[in-house]
């Protein structure tokens, strides 16, 4: 609770500071707020604070809260030289903070109404954030598309919640779980469409195939800053919410929703990877690659085990670390070369060895090369699925990993092997810190994953 | 004593970091570290007991959650490959002294990093560690070939990379399967040996592992990446690929395939032998027709490796398999030495003449007698003339094949004739004959080139005349390996 209060307070303070044109104070204030919230979160470790049976701050919630807050902290730092002439700086920070409030609710809910409220707080903030550049057509298009699709999916989610309420008479996920355990054979017919509708609604939010159509356009059109926010933190929160629901509450009906999930996973992997192969724009490629990573993340739901939570946390951390590096470098390249196509990365290594090396490590992590966090993440997912001998599924994943190599290596090839404009890109301290930190996290998890394997 | 192996792994790692941070004198620093590592390997050899026991064992916890340990050790089989790696890397680095690569610090840093990966592969006793080493050797060689390579380097190396990593991902799948079958819940080689899988399971695991090894060696029909990659790579990249890296595949078969899934080997071994023999003749016939000297040697390498893989699989399928495995051990070493020598000679020719075409050369022996004589010695080693290092290995391998099947031996034996024909044809057209405008001013080898070629020639002759010490290193381990296979087959 105090985490949410802290973030909300920070958001309002930032908003009012913005009114008084104290632009310089906005970023430090937000960072302090996030820091305090993170302190509260870490302080709640092992305490399992229950808020009126609406939210439970168990270790699962706290681990994901810390991940989300850390990711946001770094993304806030990225904004340092990003919104130079924008008049909406205060609104921008405020909305991101509000979105964070929604996400904290999404990872800690005990009640489906809280899930819904959290999801909406997050989504509404993101609709506005996607369109925050109101004179930019791309940004407007992204905002509208995201809003229409998002509202649509909210509908599905609500229908699902209603049906489940009809079957069980409660929004409380513990009561729902108990209902399934008590009635293993006589589950109400209302329940089944409820699960499927909720699955569809959630899949819209995390953007997996076939509910992904908004993702590439929105990611491309939004300001890169916001794209980074959506592709990393928001996605992690969405997964945490999904896993909490399907990995625990709906687990007794695993056999029922597994086929639907398998179809989603296989479609996601193939569609996202094959489409990413043909992208000419780096940002759009990252959008498609984020869809494909969502597919790998769903592996954790195929075989439910005690380690599912931890493998999602691991994969999400690995993915966020690599993404932050990639997005930070994308912003730098775009600012200095004016474009986010692959061509603008050509010959980057000549004058910017640090950027080239770190970008390479990020791409290797995305691709899942050993000694990077991405490999450990994929490895854990594969072992998890192999546990019940879904060998064919692992073969599908391997084929997709191979396709992935092509487009991730396209970046490395552009950076090292192609000739391009030789521009020295100045890197500010904040960016340098983010990039180096991202790479360090990637390598530490890659070489010694035990640091993160026992958290949950 | 245990610390020796740790030292052997640390030296290339530290070396690659130091080299990476250095400047224009990177090649000297790289050479120093590779010589240090050779010295450690020498000390190891001196302390090595030629029995079947694992020595210099390292055992550290790594990722206990997954049952993964940092376990490594050396037996006779590993010792040979360690020698191979540590002898060849300094020679390969020295072979680059005539070139001025752009960014030498990155180039030599990557070579040393690759050496680390190779040494991990050759000593790992934990499947996960083996896999990590396997990939840690691949990434640097990809960058070496793609950054400093020649024509079409990007496309060719992408194919090479995706090909090899496809194989290794299936190998990882096989490892995970074995891990899940393993009651001890770990990746230790010893527990993999103790596993009792039925023949269907073993067949699948065999296929998963074999794909990785077959692509690496390469065995026909998984060889299509190889000639292009060898041709487009920089000379030293080619030497690393052909001299050491393909031995990863052979070593993998001996260490991780034969004793872990012998029933799978029985099931598929015959087919592998047929594929290898097809590869031997097919590659040799193509080598006849190549006008490009580098490509010719690339194909000849496929042909020679085919014999090694046929001999290894035959040794499990026949009554007595010691000769085949022993032959493959020495042949690994000899092939590495010879092929590095050949590619170095080609590199010298290319850098002086600016061409790889055999038809544009001729009469070089007149202006460069030293080069001609060293080239001849290496060539004789390659065609397995008695008294050179190629002979004992090929002889034993053919003997093993003969025991398995006389026709297989007959066809595979053609490799000796074939290789003599295309190798001597190349020699005749490059070194002998009339000189032309290009070759009349050919400068003979000097300096670092002399050191490299003389050392290689020394090894060619020394191992040919007196191969016994090499046999002694690996004999006990090979015997024990075959016993393990027999015990497992009888269960």
Name the phi and psi angles at A68, rounded to 5: -65, -45
pLDDT of amino acid A337:
85
Which of B169, B177, B207, B225 to mutate: most A Cβ within 10 Å? Answer: B169
pLDDT in tens, B27-54: 889 899 999 999 999 998 888 888 878 8
Largest Cα span, chain A: 69
DSSP sequence for A295-364: HHHHHHHHS--TTHHHHHHHHHHHHHHHHHHHHHHHHHHHHHHS--BGGGGTTHHHH-HHHHHHHHHHHH
Which of B143, B162, B176 lies nearest to residue A402, judging by beta carbons? Answer: B162
What lies within 8 Å, CB to CB, of A277 at 6+ separation is: A403, A406, A407
For chain A, state the CA radius of gyration.
21
> How far apart are alpha carbons B429 and A362 in whole angstroms?
50
Computed over every residue of chain B, the mean pLDDT equals: 88
Mark yes or no for CB contact B146/A413 under 8 Å: yes
pLDDT by residue, tens only, chain A of 456 residues = 789 999 999 999 998 888 887 777 888 889 999 999 999 999 888 888 888 888 888 899 999 999 999 999 999 988 877 766 666 788 888 999 999 999 999 999 999 999 999 999 999 999 998 888 878 888 888 889 889 988 888 999 999 999 999 998 889 999 999 998 888 888 888 889 999 999 999 998 888 888 888 888 888 888 888 889 999 999 999 999 999 999 888 988 888 899 999 999 999 999 999 999 998 888 889 989 999 999 999 988 888 888 888 889 999 999 999 999 999 999 998 888 888 888 888 888 888 888 999 999 999 999 999 889 999 999 988 888 888 878 888 899 999 999 999 899 889 888 888 888 888 888 888 899 999 999 999 999 999 988 888 877
**Phi, psi of A371, rounded to the nearest 5 degrees:** 75, 5
| A245/A2 Cα distance (integer angstroms) | 24
Q: Does residue B154 have a pLDDT over 80?
A: yes
Residue identified by tokens 């775009």 is: A334
B225 vs A131: CA distance, rounded Å: 48
CB-based contact B147 A370, cutoff 8 Å: no
Cα distance between residue B192 and residue B175, in whole Å: 9
Residues β-bridged to residue A172? A111
Distance CA B309, CA B290 (A): 24
Determine, for residues A417 and B154 on separate chains, whether the beta-carbon distance falls below 8 Å: yes
The vertex-A237 CA angle with A341 and A45, nearest 5°, equals 130
- Give A-chain residues touching B170 at CB under 8 angstroms: 398
Q: How far is CA A232 from the centre of its chain?
A: 3
Residues of chain A with Cβ-Cβ distance to B143 below 8 Å are 416
Structure tokens of B150? 């020649």
Residue carrying structure tokens 């986010």: A340
Which residues of chain A make contact with B65, given a CB cutoff of 8 A? 449-450, 453-454
Predicted local distance difference test score (pLDDT) of residue A326: 93
Pick the closest to residue A371 from A356, A381, A360, A361 (CA basis).
A361
The dihedral through the CA atoms of A11, A12, A18, A23 has a sign that is negative
Q: Per the CB < 8 Å rule, is B170 touching A398? A: yes
**Residue where the block lists tokens 């002086």:** B352
**CB distance B180–A413 less than 8 Å?**
no
List all residues of chain A from 389 to 448 with a beta carbon under 8 Å from chain B: 391, 394-395, 398, 401-402, 405-406, 409, 413, 416-417, 448
| Cβ-Cβ contacts under 8 Å, A371 against chain B | 132, 135-136
- Asked whether residue B1 carries a pLDDT value surpassing 70, the answer given is no
Please enumerate residues of B whose Cβ is less than 8 A from a Cβ of A.
62-66, 131-132, 135-136, 139, 143, 146-147, 153-154, 158, 161-162, 165-166, 169-170, 172-173, 176-177, 179-180
Domain definitions of chain A by residue range:
1-249, 255-456
CB contact under 8 A, A370 and B135: yes
Q: What 3-state DSSP class applies to A419?
A: coil
> Which one of A394, A405, A453 has the shortest CB-CB distance to B65?
A453
* Strand B68-74 to B55-63 pairing: antiparallel
- Please say whether the beta carbons of B78 and B123 come within 8 A: yes
Q: What is the pLDDT of residue A87?
A: 64
A383 touching chain B per CB within 8 A: yes
**Residues of B whose CB is below 8 A from A382:** 172-173, 176
**Hey, are the CB atoms on B162 and A398 less than 8 Å from each other?**
no
CB distance A370–B143 less than 8 Å? no
Closest CA to B478 of B75, B46, B195: B75
pLDDT digits (tens, 9 = 90+) for B206-251: 999 999 999 998 888 888 888 889 888 888 899 999 989 999 999 9
Contact B178, B134 (CB under 8 A): no
Q: Which residues, 6+ apart, have CB-to-CB distance to B466 below 8 Å?
A: none
Nearest-CB residue to B165 (from A382, A386, A405): A405
Residue B2 has pLDDT above 80, yes or no: no
Measured between alpha carbons, how far is B299 from B289 in angstroms, rounded to an integer? 10
Q: Kindly state the DSSP code that residue A425 receives in the 8-state scheme.
A: P
Burial A194-232 (b: 16+ CB within 10 A, else e): bbbbbbbbbbbbbbbbebbebbbbbbbbbbbbbbbbbbb
Sequence-distant (6+) residues with CB within 8 A of A139 are A130, A131, A132, A133, A221, A222, A223
Q: Quick check: A371 and B132 CB within 8 A?
A: yes
Residues B431-440 pLDDT 10s:
887 777 777 7
Q: Cβ contact (<8 Å) for B169 and A387?
A: no
Q: Give contacts of A370 with chain B, Cβ < 8 Å.
A: 131-132, 135-136
Buried b (16+ CB within 10 A) or exposed e, A389-426: ebeebbebbbebbbbbbbbbbbbbbbbbbeebeeeebe
Closest CA to B82 of B122, B109, B49, B114: B122
- Are the beta carbons of B135 and A383 separated by less than 8 Å? no
Please tell me which residue of chain B has the smallest CA distance to A455.
B65
Residue A37: both structure tokens together:
């919230």
Number of Cβ pairs < 8 A linking chain A and chain B: 64
Contacts of B144 in chain A (CB under 8 A): none
Burial class (CB in 10 A: 0-12, 13-18, 19+), A454: exposed
Say what the pLDDT of residue B430 is.
85
- Phi-psi region at B430: left, alpha or beta (left = phi > 0; alpha = psi -120 to 50): alpha
Contact B139 A395 (CB under 8 A): no
Summarize pLDDT for B420-463 with one digit per residue, the tens.
888 888 888 888 877 777 777 778 888 888 888 999 999 999 98
Which helix or strand (DSSP H or E) is residue B139 part of? helix B127-148
DSSP state of A245: I
């Amino acid at each position: 609770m105090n985490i949410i209060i802290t973030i909300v307070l920070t958001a309002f303070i930032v908003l009012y500071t913005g009114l008084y044109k104290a632009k310089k104070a906005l970023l430090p204030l937000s960072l302090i707020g996030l820091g305090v919230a993170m302190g509260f979160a870490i302080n709640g470790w092992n305490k399992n604070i229950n808020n009126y049976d609406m939210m439970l701050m168990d270790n699962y919630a706290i681990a994901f809260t810390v991940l989300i807050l850390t990711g946001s902290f770094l993304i806030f730092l990225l904004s340092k030289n990003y919104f130079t002439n924008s008049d909406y700086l205060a609104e921008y920070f405020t909305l991101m903070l509000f979105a964070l409030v929604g996400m904290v609710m999404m990872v800690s809910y005990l009640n489906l109404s809280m899930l819904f409220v959290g999801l909406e707080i997050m989504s509404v903030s993101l609709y506005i954030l996607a369109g925050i550049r109101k004179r930019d057509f791309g940004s407007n298009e992204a905002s509208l598309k995201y809003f229409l699709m998002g509202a649509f999916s909210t509908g599905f989610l609500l229908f699902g919640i209603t049906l489940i309420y009809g079957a069980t008479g409660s929004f409380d996920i513990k009561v729902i779980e108990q209902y399934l355990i008590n009635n293993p054979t006589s589950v109400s017919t209302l329940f089944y469409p409820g699960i499927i509708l909720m699955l569809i609604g959630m899949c819209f939010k995390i953007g997996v195939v076939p509910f992904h159509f908004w993702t590439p356009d929105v990611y491309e059109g939004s300001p890169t800053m916001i794209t980074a926010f959506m592709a990393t933190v928001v996605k992690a929160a969405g997964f945490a919410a999904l896993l909490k629901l399907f990995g625990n509450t709906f687990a007794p009906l695993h056999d029922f929703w597994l086929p639907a999930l398998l179809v989603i996973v296989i479609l996601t992997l193939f569609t996202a990877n094959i489409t990413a192969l043909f992208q000419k724009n780096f940002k759009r490629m990252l959008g498609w690659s984020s869809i494909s990573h969502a597919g790998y993340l769903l592996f954790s739901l195929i075989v439910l085990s005690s380690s599912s939570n931890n493998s999602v946390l691991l994969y999400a951390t690995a993915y966020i670390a690599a993404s932050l590096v990639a997005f930070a470098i994308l912003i730098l390249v775009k600012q200095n070369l004016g474009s986010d196509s692959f061509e603008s990365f050509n010959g980057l290594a000549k004058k910017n060895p640090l950027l080239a090396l770190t970008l390479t490590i990020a791409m290797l992590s995305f691709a899942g090369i050993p000694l990077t966090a991405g490999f450990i993440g994929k490895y854990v997912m594969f072992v998890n699925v192999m546990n019940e001998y879904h060998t064919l599924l692992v073969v599908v994943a391997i084929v997709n990993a191979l396709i992935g190599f092509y487009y991730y290596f396209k970046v490395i090839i552009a950076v090292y092997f192609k000739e391009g404009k030789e521009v020295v890109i100045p890197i500010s301290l904040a960016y340098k810190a983010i990039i180096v930190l991202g790479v360090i996290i990637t390598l530490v998890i890659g070489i010694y994953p035990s640091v993160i394997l026992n958290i949950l | 004593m245990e610390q020796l192996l740790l030292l052997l792994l640390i030296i290339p790692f530290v070396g690659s970091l130091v080299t990476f941070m250095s400047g224009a004198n990177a090649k000297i620093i790289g050479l120093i570290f590779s010589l240090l590592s050779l010295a450690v390997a020498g000390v190891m050899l001196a302390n090595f007991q030629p029995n079947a026991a694992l020595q210099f064992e390292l055992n550290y916890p790594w990722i206990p959650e997954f049952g993964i340990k940092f376990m490594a050790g050396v037996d006779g089989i590993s010792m040979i490959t360690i020698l191979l790696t540590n002898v060849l890397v300094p020679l390969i680095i020295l072979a680059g002294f005539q070139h001025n690569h752009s960014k030498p610090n990155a180039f030599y840093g990557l070579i040393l990093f690759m050496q680390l990966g190779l040494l991990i592969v050759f000593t790992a006793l934990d499947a996960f560690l083996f896999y990590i080493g396997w990939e840690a050797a691949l990434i640097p060689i990809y960058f070496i070939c793609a950054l400093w390579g020649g024509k079409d380097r990007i496309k060719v190396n992408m194919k090479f990379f995706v090909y090899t990593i496809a194989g290794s991902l299936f190998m990882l799948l096989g490892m995970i399967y074995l891990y899940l079958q393993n009651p001890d819940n770990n990746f230790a080689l010893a527990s993999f040996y103790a596993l009792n899988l039925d023949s269907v399971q073993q067949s699948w695991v065999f296929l998963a592992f074999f794909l990785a090894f077959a692509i690496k060696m390469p065995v026909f029909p998984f060889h299509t990446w190889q000639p292009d990659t060898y041709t487009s790579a920089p000379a030293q990249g080619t030497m690393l690929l052909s001299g050491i890296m393909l031995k990863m595949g052979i070593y993998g078969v001996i260490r991780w395939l034969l004793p872990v899934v012998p029933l799978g080997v029985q099931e598929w071994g015959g087919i592998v032998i047929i594929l290898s023999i097809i590869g031997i003749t097919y590659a040799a016939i193509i080598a006849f027709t190549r006008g490009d000297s580098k490509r010719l040697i690339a194909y000849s390498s496929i042909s020679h490796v085919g014999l090694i893989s046929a001999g290894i699989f035959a040794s499990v399928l026949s009554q007595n398999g010691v000769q085949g495995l022993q032959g493959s051990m020495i042949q690994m070493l000899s092939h590495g030495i010879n092929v590095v020598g050949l590619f170095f000679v080609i590199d010298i020719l290319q850098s002086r003449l600016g061409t790889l075409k055999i038809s544009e050369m001729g009469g070089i022996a007149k202006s460069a007698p030293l080069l001609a004589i060293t080239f001849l010695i290496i060539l004789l080693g390659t065609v397995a003339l008695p008294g050179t290092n190629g002979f004992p290995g090929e002889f034993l391998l053919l003997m093993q094949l003969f025991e398995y099947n006389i026709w297989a031996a007959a066809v595979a034996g053609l490799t000796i004739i074939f290789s003599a024909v295309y190798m001597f044809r190349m020699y005749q057209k490059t070194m002998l004959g009339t000189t032309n405008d290009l070759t009349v001013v050919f400068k003979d080898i000097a300096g670092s080139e002399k050191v490299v070629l003389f050392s290689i020639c020394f090894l060619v002759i020394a191992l040919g005349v007196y191969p016994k010490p090499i046999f002694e290193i690996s004999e006990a381990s090979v015997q024990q390996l075959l016993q393990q296979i027999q015990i497992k087959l009888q269960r």
